[in-house]
Amino acid sequence: MATRYDSSKQVISKNDNGGLKDIIDRRNVTSITHFDTAKLKYPSVEQIKNFNIVKYVWKHNDRYWKLANEYYGDSKYWWVIAWYNRKPIEATLVIGQQISIPLPLSDVLEAIT
């Protein structure tokens, strides 16, 4: 199953630019190695038609990670729900707002990576 946590697909960058000089000096290193941000694509209309979309009404104390755990069996996929709804953080949602949870997870991940 494709995942943003799949290290075989992640691009690793070595960063030694001047903008990080203070951090590099504090850590007593010559550079900082980090993973580049994954490039995700939004699924096509045809792909979305093949998803099973669960409509969910946002409630008090809801969190993406809780919904991911409930619907996907793993809280680390919280970002799929946030990304699919184009609501990057929970603060952008209001109680009573409807969001969509795309299923099955394997099909969604395949469509976006």
Rounded to whole angstroms, the Cα distance separating 59 from 56 reads 9
Q: Give pTM, 2 decimals.
A: 0.69
CB 5 within 8 A of CB 109: no
Which has the higher per-residue pLDDT, 40 or 7? Answer: 40
Q: Which two tokens stand for residue 82?
A: 């946030």
Evaluate if residue 17 carries a pLDDT over 80. Answer: no
Judged by average pLDDT, the poorest of 2-11, 26-35, 74-83 is 2-11
* pLDDT score recorded for residue 9: 57
pLDDT computed for residue 8 by the predictor: 57
pLDDT digits (tens, 9 = 90+) for 34-69: 777 777 888 889 999 999 999 999 999 999 999 999
pLDDT for the residue numbered 1: 47
